[in-house]
Copies of this chain bind each other. A is one copy, B any other.
Amino acid sequence: MASSAPAIHVAVDLTVLTLREGRLSVLLIRREEDPHRGAWALPGGFIAVGEDLEDAAYRVLADEASLGSGAVHLEQVRTFGAPGRDPRGHVVSVSFMALGADLPDPQRGDDVADARWWALGDLAAVPLAFDHAAVLECSLERARSKLEYTTLAITFLPAEFTISQLRGVYESVWGANLDAGNFHRKATRTEGFLVELDRHAPTTGGRPARLYRAGPGTSLVPPLLRVGDGEAGGR
């Protein structure tokens, strides 16, 4: 923190994503100190000597997002190290994405005075601190892409879920509308993706939907490729 002896500092930045009311949302924290005082930023922090990168990410998750390690899927995305990205000095930041199911509102604590979930659609006019817009975009693209080839979409859902909910994850993250019937067939017939349960979800006005839980597989073969639909919706 003392900027007398020039050195490189290493930090982690977290893109915490969840679905809230069917909209893909990211957790941002309002900065209380310069630089970028008052701007919204991704949660993050410097790593200590001897601290593992993942441990630092989980620490930030607990301190700034009130989230335990069991609540999210954490994954390293990319490292940002341009010399000018932080006016305080040379900060190399390892960015992670954390995905979870309907994550709770952040609690005010020692470190954090103001923090909230932002639906991505509402974020266009919000300037982010540092290079966090690029960091966020990088994690978003990673998440969108991994939905194609992996079973990662399930991390956005509770332990038991319906096919409609799963389709909702894809639609929200991709910003695309998927055919319900075709998606149902694809999801249920992809080996290792889902395990069918004997129970059904309470009806939401129509035929009750069967419940599923995550299957043993981690990759989708063949993948579930997004195609240029374009038409989308927050919900």
Contacts and interface: CB of A to CB of B under 8 A. Distances in A.
Interface of A: 6-10, 47, 49-53, 76, 78-79, 81-83, 89-90, 92, 94, 222-223, 225
Q: How many copies does the complex hold?
A: 2
A207 to B, nearest CB: 34
Contacts of A50: 6, 83, 90
Contacts of A90: 49-50
Secondary structure at chain A's binding surface: helix, strand, loop or mixed? loop
A150 to B, nearest CB: 12
A53 B10 contact: no
A8 B6 contact: no
Nearest to A81: B53
A190 B51 CA distance: 47
Contacts of A223: 223, 225
Given A92-B94, A222-B225, A225-B222, A6 B49 contact: yes
14 contacts: A7-B7, A8-B8, A8-B9, A8-B10, A8-B47, A8-B49, A10-B81, A47-B81, A52-B81, A53-B81, A53-B82, A76-B78, A92-B92, A92-B94
Nearest to A83: B50
